[in-house]
Amino acid sequence: MTALDSDNPPTIAIIGGGFSGCMVAVHLLRSATVPIAIKLIERGPTVGPGVAYGTREERHLLNVPAGNMSAFPEDAGHFLRWLDSHGDSPFTAESFAPRRRYGAYLQAILREAEADAPRLAQLEKIQDEAIAILPDQEGDRIQLRSGRTLHASRIVLAVGNFPPSDPVVAESAFYRSPRYSSDPWSPTALSHIDPLDSILLIGSGLTTIDLVLALQARGHQGVIHLISRHGLLPQCHRPSVPPYPPFLTIADVSSTLRILLRRVRREIDQAARQGHDWRTVIDALRPQTQVLWRALTAVEKRRFLRHLRPYWDNHRHRIAPEVAATLDRLQQSGQLRVYAGCIRSYEERDDGVDVSYRPRHQPELHTVRVNRVINCTGPEGNYRKLQHPLIMNLLESGRIRPDSLTLGLEVEANGALVIATGVASRRLYTLGPPRKGSLWETIAVPELREQAQALARQLLQSLRVKAAPAFSDTEGVMTQQAAAHIHDGRKGATQTQAPE
Ligand SMILES: Cc1cc2nc3c(=O)[nH]c(=O)nc-3n(C[C@H](O)[C@H](O)[C@H](O)COP(=O)(O)OP(=O)(O)OC[C@H]3O[C@@H](n4cnc5c(N)ncnc54)[C@H](O)[C@@H]3O)c2cc1C
């Protein structure tokens, strides 16, 4: 094992090179005013696209209109201008561009930031997997799968979404069968599928729709079955609707989930009477969603997750009209069949697998015979279930702590990870999907671009402050939540993180 890096200039290591990691690197390169070394570690072959925009399938479209997909919060038209100067087909702010183009856009932004960066900021892209973080005297040492280690003063976990866990059944042997794919984003998820095979996709969200489109693009002719607890497909976007103004007041924010739901329904009815589409009312909630989420009690949050989540997801995470039209066509032809229910068991046969499920609100079991089953139930948020070496290492060493809703990790408002003893780390930060427990709305570009910019500022700020005597993360600092509780439980957000 070789140690390659000293910490002069200080090193900021970013683990994960999807949108989040790539954009933190871009902002560091753009705004560095002190010498820094940036190490961007990505286990895959390319930096930028990550899981979402790494698809090669042209029919996989962004699920957010191009006008809201700029990578920069202060420059709303940036992506549209890039599309204009790099494409042959015209796009408008309402267009849903292919996701692979967005991956190319992110790669171009990083290239440009590297080329324009001042000499004092240096970026090294490392194709490797981070498997452990070990504290050392003046920072941390990241262990890579290749055997290389590198020292860092600050580390950003930008590891994104994790594949889904297998649905719980009494007998799980089928999950080891070659007829089963556990990771819908794996390049091999659709390997060895005959065009006439019947396929069961578990889940009915955006990832499931991706697979339906990918199968269709390959000329698949067999029946595609979808099953999810509620059998709800994502709703469709409506083009060119005028935005609806934010309508919630401070009083709404501090009310219960039930009252809030009633309030939103009332607003939708009222908006409809004035000719507005319900989608604009849901979209008007977006800038306030994080505040609403934070104001709910833990009990209310759990209630939301138990009862409302599928409805929120299918109204909030919508699909492009052209994708909705394809799904309609497939459903009408009978090639796509959607069920609401829970899988109970699998019985493998020579020519396929019999999948038994209990339809929603019905007592008797139904069975469907298919050739392949692909799990598309959505990213796993319970970090204790993950088989990701780095996450397992960080949990074991107490450097991270799952949030109480098991949606992600406990994270401070400035992105600092909370360690096992409940204090905020001075050296480990994160953004994006791991913050779901504290922010809820934190997985799509409109939120991630803000977080990436704010986190880069925070990291640079923390390096500019005169170094305090070496602390270890086990000493840590009181979390903002804990401090807020002691000082004034209602005001919150007291900045208590000590400088390094
Ligand atoms: C299929 C799909 C489609 C989506 N479409 C949209 C959309 O149209 N619009 C939108 O706004 N949002 C969309 N999203 C939401 C998406 O989560 C965000 O937009 C964004 O791409 C998340 O980026 P990320 O960098 O946080 O995560 P990821 O893209 O998951 O990137 C994480 C990266 O970390 C790497 N990594 C993980 N562990 C390690 C390790 N130990 N060492 C080194 N590298 C590691 C992975 O290889 C990966 O490249 C989509 C998500 C998915 C899954």
Distance 161 CA to ligand 1 centre (A): 6
pLDDT tens digits along 91-150 = 999 889 999 999 999 999 999 999 999 999 999 999 999 999 999 877 899 999 999 999
Pairing verdict, β 180-181 and 372-375: parallel
Ligand 1, atom 48, residue with closest C-alpha: 50
Phi, psi of 248 (to 5 degrees): -80, 145
Burial class (CB in 10 A: 0-12, 13-18, 19+), 103: buried
Nearest to 179 by CA among 158, 202, 200: 200
Three-class DSSP category at 112: helix
Q: Where are the alpha helices (DSSP H) in 117-249?
A: 206-217
246-252, long-range: CB < 8 A, 24+ apart = 246/284, 246/285, 246/287, 246/288, 247/281, 247/284, 248/285, 248/288, 248/292
Domains with residue ranges and CATH for the chain: 7-162+382-488 (3.50.50.60), 173-235+319-375 (3.50.50.60), 250-316 (no CATH)
Ligand 1, atom 10, residue with closest C-alpha: 444
- Ligand 1 proximal residues by C-beta, below 6 Å: 15-21, 41-44, 50-52, 62-64, 99, 129-130, 158-161, 206-207, 210, 390, 432-433, 443-445, 448
Ligand 1 atom nearest 69 alpha carbon: 11
Report the distance separating Cα 160 and Cα 141, nearest Å: 21
Which residue bears the tokens 């969603």? 289
Q: Which residues sit opposite 353 in a β-bridge? A: 348, 370
pLDDT tens digits along 293-314 = 999 999 999 999 999 999 999 9
One-letter amino acid at 316 equals R
Ligand 1, atom 1, residue with closest C-alpha: 52
CB 295 within 8 A of CB 214: no
Distance 334 CA to ligand 1 centre (A): 33
Best of 51, 155, 157, 323 for a ligand 1 pocket test (most atoms within 8 Å of beta carbon): 51
Burial class (CB in 10 A: 0-12, 13-18, 19+), 423: buried
Best of 55, 161, 207, 442 for a ligand 1 pocket test (most atoms within 8 Å of beta carbon): 161
Three-class DSSP category at 330: helix
Report the distance separating Cα 191 and Cα 479, nearest Å: 47
Q: Report pLDDT for 75.
A: 97
Say whether pTM exceeds 0.75.
yes
Q: Report pLDDT for 240.
A: 61
Ligand 1, atom 41, residue with closest C-alpha: 130
Ligand 1 atom nearest 446 alpha carbon: 11
Entry field: residues in the chain: 500
Asked whether the CA dihedral 154, 155, 158, 164 is positive or negative, the reply is negative
The low-confidence residues of the chain, meaning pLDDT below 50, are: 1-6, 466-500
DSSP 8-state class, residue 241: P
Burial class (CB in 10 A: 0-12, 13-18, 19+), 71: buried
Ligand 1 atom nearest 131 alpha carbon: 41
Three-class DSSP category at 395: helix
Nearest to 108 by CA among 161, 47, 61: 47
Ligand 1 atom nearest 51 alpha carbon: 29
Q: 124: phi > 0 → left, psi -120 to 50 → alpha, else beta; which?
A: beta
State the Cα angle at 161 between 160 and 163, rounded to 5°.
145
Q: Report pLDDT for 201.
A: 98
- b/e per residue 365-397 (b: at least 16 CB within 10 A): eeebebbbbbbbbbbbbebeebebebbebbbeb
Distance 127 CA to ligand 1 centre (A): 16
Ligand 1, atom 15, residue with closest C-alpha: 444
Ligand 1, atom 20, residue with closest C-alpha: 19
Ligand 1 atom nearest 161 alpha carbon: 30
Distance 19 CA to ligand 1 centre (A): 6
Phi, psi of 468 (to 5 degrees): -85, 170
Phi, psi of 94 (to 5 degrees): -90, -5
Pairing verdict, β 352-359 and 366-370: antiparallel
Distance 317 CA to ligand 1 centre (A): 16
